[in-house]
């Protein structure tokens, strides 16, 4: 009787919790990277560099593999962490710009300006002095149409939330071949120098990697003060863990019940 009661309770809990978990997961999943390996970027897209000069995306790549970092310069959460991790990984990778790669840091906010890009570049150059000298480090802004074309090509989805006053978007880097095609992704944060070097080397050879295990870290859920994710994500993870425990408990109870009948 106890086992039966446990199994019924477990199944009821799963059935009650599953719709909420599904809705939450679905809401978050719409911002996951859509890995479009081999996809060609719009090399004719016109962007603005930190001086305000109009530049073509293809001219920035200019026959070298490139690292594309999408975010925005006034981001209060994870974008700065992504760029800091990237500069740290580059510092230990043994890669040198412009000989080995180009870096394209592109704001997804069409309202940000060349001055915003210049300020971000200067701040990050202090972390990695080579950035101040590298002609192949580009901090860029663009029109909504140009940004949409780039985002579509690499499978990046973002939306501005007027309540949070933030962009909802995933974290990660896109590694491009010298011809401007998607070679690989480094998702989430915490990039290792060796992984970054291997990805850039592969891209330099024109290689296209296999899809990587999805990692959904959403910028708007990250608290840079504590270095943790907000209560919304914590509750979702707790709910998922609870469903797993209850499912296992129900399975074990049903198995015990069958053994007793035998």
CA angle at 188 for the pair 144 and 197, rounded to the nearest 5°: 100
pTM over 0.85: no
- For residue 40, the cross-strand partners are 181
Q: How large is the average pLDDT for residues 28-41?
A: 86
Confidence of residue 190 (pLDDT cuts 50, 70, 90): confident
Cα distances from 152 to residues 40, 70, 148, 159, 160, in angstroms, run 10, 12, 6, 13, 16
**Helices 79-93 and 193-204, axial angle in degrees (round to 10):** 80
pLDDT at 131: 53
For 74-104, the pLDDT digits (tens) are 988 788 888 988 988 998 999 988 889 999 9
């Amino acid at each position: 009787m106890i086992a039966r009661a446990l199994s019924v309770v477990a199944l009821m809990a799963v059935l009650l919790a599953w719709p909420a978990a599904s809705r939450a997961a679905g809401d978050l999943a719409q911002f996951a990277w859509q890995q479009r390996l081999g996809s060609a970027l719009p090399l004719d897209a016109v962007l603005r560099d930190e001086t305000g000069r109009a530049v073509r995306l293809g001219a920035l790549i200019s026959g070298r593999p490139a690292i594309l970092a999408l975010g925005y310069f006034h981001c209060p959460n994870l974008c700065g962490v992504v760029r800091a991790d990237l500069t740290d990984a580059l510092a230990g990778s043994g890669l040198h710009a412009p000989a080995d790669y180009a870096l394209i840091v592109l704001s997804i906010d069409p309202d940000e300006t060349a001055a915003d890009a210049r300020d971000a570049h200067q701040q990050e150059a202090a972390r990695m002095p080579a950035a101040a000298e590298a002609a192949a480090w580009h901090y860029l802004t663009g029109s909504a149409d140009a940004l949409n074309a780039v985002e579509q090509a690499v499978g990046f989805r973002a939306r501005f939330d007027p309540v949070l006053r933030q962009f909802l978007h995933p974290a990660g880097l896109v590694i491009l071949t010298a011809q401007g095609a998607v070679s690989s992704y480094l998702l989430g944060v915490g990039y290792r120098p060796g992984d970054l070097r291997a990805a850039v080397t592969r891209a330099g050879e024109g290689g296209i990697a296999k899809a990587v295990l999805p990692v959904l870290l959403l910028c708007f859920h990250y608290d840079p003060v504590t270095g943790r994710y907000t209560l919304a994500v914590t509750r979702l993870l707790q709910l998922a863990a609870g469903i797993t425990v209850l499912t296992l408990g129900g399975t074990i109870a049903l198995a015990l019940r069958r053994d007793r009948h035998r």
